[in-house]
A and B are shown apart, each in its own frame.
Chain A
């Protein structure tokens, strides 16, 4: 599993130009075949997704703008937007969407697509997802301290120091566990993830 993903992540760092000229509909149809994109034409641009999005402030385009852009076939802009990486998958938009568009699910599909198409703009966020998977693969669930350490490793010492006090506070409140929580059968989860990966890459 991790080999496959690793390969993808490695490739993502060496951008390759998209050569084929694609029409507006091509991208739209492609998205409609993705998970979460089935009902994208149902969108009436009402904005209830954007209005309730908790991470909207950090996005360059709002969720409804992303849907409109998909409709207009703006592939590069959609896949290189920060929106798809900033989405925290809280599913508020999907719960409230009057047209049953599963926006949060679509964001995940778009992330995969962005990696495949080498259109990821923000490398740091990509690292986050990479380490997230590494940790989850190891223990079967998330172990925050390890993820933090992995992330901080790559950046400079000063930020590590500034984060230390925050880490200490979290630790005191029992939010950070030193020992990694482990599920009984990590291999099962790995199998699931591997299978999913196989299916995705088809």
Chain B
């Protein structure tokens, strides 16, 4: 990283008069911090017009005091030193707003959770409080008036994926009155559920519960279905997305086709049916399945003779309704939507990757989805057409596998599916003998354990052990396994072997995530914001996830989650408008040379390249500030954490007596700061030398800020980033390594800089690190005055260190 310089200064208002209000918090603060001394010291700073202490500043009389001071003394900045801004920032912003001041002219100092509650030494705590308040006062000089933006949202929703998850969310939202666009990649909606026979644990006929919903979707006035379609570009911002979708040609006019089937009778080309999981052949012009929505024929362009070789065209001649149209082309459509639901579902992992089970080498080794189709076709062995008597179900094929080709997670439906299929097999063929080879049976839902018991009562043989291999011997398939409970080797012949492959994200998930600017988890499924509390929201506001796109799920969980997703979307759109924080990055066009470094780095894709300019979308921007220090021309700045404000604050916090050790901890404002607050609430005492400075994200900081800290008097710098931040741990580490190298050029030991990440409840880890770091810096001793001068000189631009 280049160390570049820019002269600071300019935007300070002429001479702002600042009011400082220090809270006793009924002794919570004043017992440990000498508030009178704080008031005295701060009151002597230039431009501080009012310095007051009060028993409870947040109480009604306290608020009145601030309002009165603002009005009568003509204050144009206010600093409140009390509890955490997480607690009362909004309260005090409202107070100053009602007194006629811009709410962003208020600055809060946390001298309770991060000072009085965590320190015992009164003198040291007071010194720290003074430093914190001084930093806020210095920063307050440079504050700018800001106003949140309110934008109207488009009251329509795009649902990507028309499986059960998409269908359910679409219906729920359409019933609430929103316009829904349901986009499905295949020629019919319905997804995997339309392929299933019966569903556990109640043996409902899958089609009987799904198809009425599909019909409702087709007839709903608020839903528009696009089949054979995919989104290809997503623009706009939360609440007002602009989506481009491509509808692939079907070569059959939906309105004219009456599904008479004449075309398929005459078509000379056969291909494996994907709906039947390649178990049967169908014609190149086909109806996806009987209850398909939209119910019309479709031509497979990879097989059709007319489309591949320009001959044939028989279907066109025989179609009485003249529905066939070979001239159809890709159709592009623009949709304006307020929110997007990702319900793209799953695929089965290719069982060929687990070579020892011989999938693909013998027709009677099938997947559980193929078994579902066989149940509906009339159960038979694909090889001979006989009824199978002895069937082996092998679970965890590729699941719970940490090798490169497998999936580490549990597929969640394999156990119950195998149990269901074993029971169905017994129902169809009473003398049949189902064997289930399992590693652990996971029957975790309502009624599932009872279902498992039922299978045992029906004499299903359960063998605990993952089979080693399946080999062919004559007409039967031998499964070799270890019965791990007996410690005995088994070799059993079977008529048919059913594998339960792992569930993997549907293909194209990565491309879609990139297009939408949302994250995939390590398993490749779409990542929710919070595992428990925000389970259907993605990191980008207005984009939600439903069903197996988020992770393996059964039908029951999927429908429930889809309704939760619909509810979240309705809440988002129902407000009618979206308030956008003004704390966003902005461009200084004069300096920008269109290099585009920032564009790739932006985690939410808020930065775009225009014709002759770079555009930062203030609505998509989440204000992390990652673009600010990486800009080689320093052409970007962040509102409410501008360069001037930040440097003034750093200088303010680092000042103090020469002899005392000073450590500045830059702490990410949400998770990490909250974690430090939590430490305060638990009264976890730590070294008072550590002074916490709240930043939007560590990503906002450049080497310059670290140098400023050292120049102004800091002896050590700590970075604490939130674990869930957009600035991931690896990036943080990478940047810190750069900083350490840069510090070396000034002869400042790299050990004076430390970084860590924390989750909210992990304050113990963070605070222990604070203590250890202080001990380490104590041993190293303070930085010499000469060195500080050298850095200062460099920062003033007098000297460049090679």
A residues near B (Cβ < 8 Å) are: 39, 42, 44-53, 56-57, 62, 64-65, 92, 96-100
On whether the beta carbons of B403 and A98 are closer than 8 Å, the reply is yes
Given the known inter-chain contacts A47-B464, A48-B466, please indicate yes or no for A42 contacting B402, CB distance below 8 A: yes
Contacts of A46 in B (CB 8 A): 396, 400, 439, 465-466, 484
Given the known inter-chain contacts A44-B439, A51-B466, A51-B467, please indicate yes or no for A56 contacting B484, CB distance below 8 A: no
With A46-B466, A97-B403, A98-B400 already in contact, 7 other A-B pairs whose C-beta atoms are closer than 8 Å: A45-B484, A46-B439, A49-B482, A51-B480, A51-B489, A62-B482, A98-B402
- State which of B356, B396, B483, B484 has its C-beta within 8 Å of the C-beta of A52: B356
On whether the beta carbons of A47 and B402 are closer than 8 Å, the reply is no
Q: Which 8 A-B pairs have the closest CB atoms?
A: A52-B468, A51-B468, A47-B465, A50-B482, A46-B466, A98-B401, A47-B482, A51-B482
Cα–Cα distance between A150 and B360 once the two chains are bound (Å): 48
Nearest B residue (CB) for A93: B468
Contacts of B487 in A (CB 8 A): 62, 65
Cα–Cα distance between A98 and B355 once the two chains are bound (Å): 12
Contacts of A62 in B (CB 8 A): 482, 487
Cα–Cα distance between A98 and B403 once the two chains are bound (Å): 6
Cα–Cα distance between A45 and B396 once the two chains are bound (Å): 13
Q: Counting CB contacts under 8 A, is B481 at the interface?
A: yes
Given the known inter-chain contacts A47-B482, A51-B467, A96-B468, please indicate yes or no for A57 contacting B489, CB distance below 8 A: yes
Nearest A residue (CB) for B407: A98
Contacts of B400 in A (CB 8 A): 44, 46, 98-99
Q: Mark B319-351, 1 if CB is under 8 A from A, else 0.
A: 000000000000000000000000000000000
Least distance between B356 CB and chain A CB atoms (Å): 6
Nearest A residue (CB) for B481: A51
Cα–Cα distance between A42 and B403 once the two chains are bound (Å): 11
A-B contact pairs, 7 of them (CB 8 A): A47-B465, A48-B482, A50-B482, A50-B484, A51-B481, A53-B468, A98-B401
Q: Counting CB contacts under 8 A, is B103 at the interface?
A: no
Least distance between B436 CB and chain A CB atoms (Å): 14
Cα–Cα distance between A52 and B489 once the two chains are bound (Å): 9
Q: Counting CB contacts under 8 A, is B40 at the interface?
A: no
Least distance between A198 CB and chain B CB atoms (Å): 33
Nearest B residue (CB) for A68: B484
Contacts of A92 in B (CB 8 A): 468
Cα–Cα distance between A56 and B484 once the two chains are bound (Å): 13
Q: Mark B469-496, 1 if CB is under 8 A from A, else 0.
A: 1000000000011111001011000000
Least distance between A108 CB and chain B CB atoms (Å): 21
Contacts of A53 in B (CB 8 A): 468
Nearest B residue (CB) for A95: B356
Contacts of A64 in B (CB 8 A): 482, 484
Contacts of B440 in A (CB 8 A): 44
Nearest B residue (CB) for A39: B402
Q: Counting CB contacts under 8 A, is B702 at the interface?
A: no
Given the known inter-chain contacts A64-B482, A65-B487, A98-B401, please indicate yes or no for A48 contacting B467, CB distance below 8 A: yes
Cα–Cα distance between A39 and B408 once the two chains are bound (Å): 14
Q: Mark B419-458, 1 if CB is under 8 A from A, else 0.
A: 0000000000000000000011000000000000000000
Q: Counting CB contacts under 8 A, is B603 at the interface?
A: no
Least distance between B742 CB and chain A CB atoms (Å): 37
Least distance between A128 CB and chain B CB atoms (Å): 25
Given the known inter-chain contacts A50-B484, A62-B482, please indicate yes or no for A98 contacting B465, CB distance below 8 A: no
- Near A by CB (< 8 A), chain B positions 396-417 give 396, 400-403, 406
Contacts of B482 in A (CB 8 A): 47-51, 56, 62, 64
